[in-house]
Amino acid sequence: MYACAKFVSAPALLGSTPAPQNALLQAVRREFHASSVSRDIDTAAKFIGAGAGAATVGVAGSGAGIGTVFGSLIIGYARNPSLKQQLFSYAILGFALSEAMGLFCLMVAFLILFAM
């Protein structure tokens, strides 16, 4: 309704010169173009989606790695209980490395989200 009211009340449409067609075409073109604000919102949504996806993949991979490390610890301890201390120290090292990769991915996701 607003677009129709703008066409009817435009003073250029009252004259008999070919200008009304130009004014009408300019008004129609203006209605279909995306504003810079909507483009900025679309770009921000893309960055938020990319950051959330990177964080999800990184944290999921870290969780899978930690599960694998402690699963292997249980299997190794069941096979050879005399190596309990050495296996546990290796498991803690594997846990730390897996968790660090997840935190690095989370850091990159926050950089994408807030720095760009």
| pLDDT tens digits, 2-29 | 555 555 555 555 555 555 566 666 665 5
Residues 72 and 28 in one domain: no
CA pair distance 107, 71, nearest whole angstrom: 27
Its domain, for residue 46, covers 39-115
> Is the domain of 92 the same as that of 46?
yes
Measure the CA–CA gap between 35 and 41, rounded to whole angstroms.
Answer: 10
Whether residue 51 sits in one domain with residue 23: no
Domains held by the chain: number? 2
Whether 7 and 45 map to the same domain: the answer is no
**What are the CA-CA distances from residue 53 to residues 43, 49, 107 (Å)?**
15, 6, 13
Q: What does the pLDDT look like over 28-79, one tens digit per residue?
A: 555 556 667 677 777 778 877 877 887 888 889 899 999 999 999 999 999 9
